[in-house]
Amino acid sequence: MDLTIEQIDRVIEMAWEDRTPFEAIKYQFSLAEKDVIALMRAELKRSSFNLWRARVNSGVSQKHLFKRNNEIDRFKCSRQKMISGNKISKR
């Protein structure tokens, strides 16, 4: 699958977020976990990739749904509108 630069940036951002599971990335971009790992390896500096991999493999990250205690009913955080560039009301 060919992704635009904006889509690649969004996948990387989602992968860095501890609360965004790989299943959400697969749902939105049709990228399996191994594809996300390959994309991160290709796009990040070696040291950044190593930090990310260590974090995902440690107990800190909840990148897999089975590691979570509760059920997920949506795939976006409260700040999603700002991140995706949708129009929101300003304070």
Question: pLDDT by residue (tens digit) across 3-35?
Answer: 899 999 999 999 998 888 888 899 999 999 999
Query: What token pair was written down for 88?
Result: 């929101």
At residue 50, the pLDDT reads 94
User: Phi/psi of residue 53, each to 5°?
Assistant: -60, -45
> pLDDT-based confidence at 51, cuts 50/70/90?
very high
Record the pTM: 0.66
Q: Average model confidence (pLDDT) for the chain?
A: 78
At residue 85, the pLDDT reads 53
Give which of 53, 27, 24, 51 is closest to 38, Cα–Cα.
53
At residue 13, the pLDDT reads 93
The percent of residues in the chain predicted with pLDDT above 90, rounded, is 45
Q: How far apart are the first and last CA of the chain?
A: 39
Per mean pLDDT, which range of 16-30, 35-49, 52-66 is the poorest? 52-66
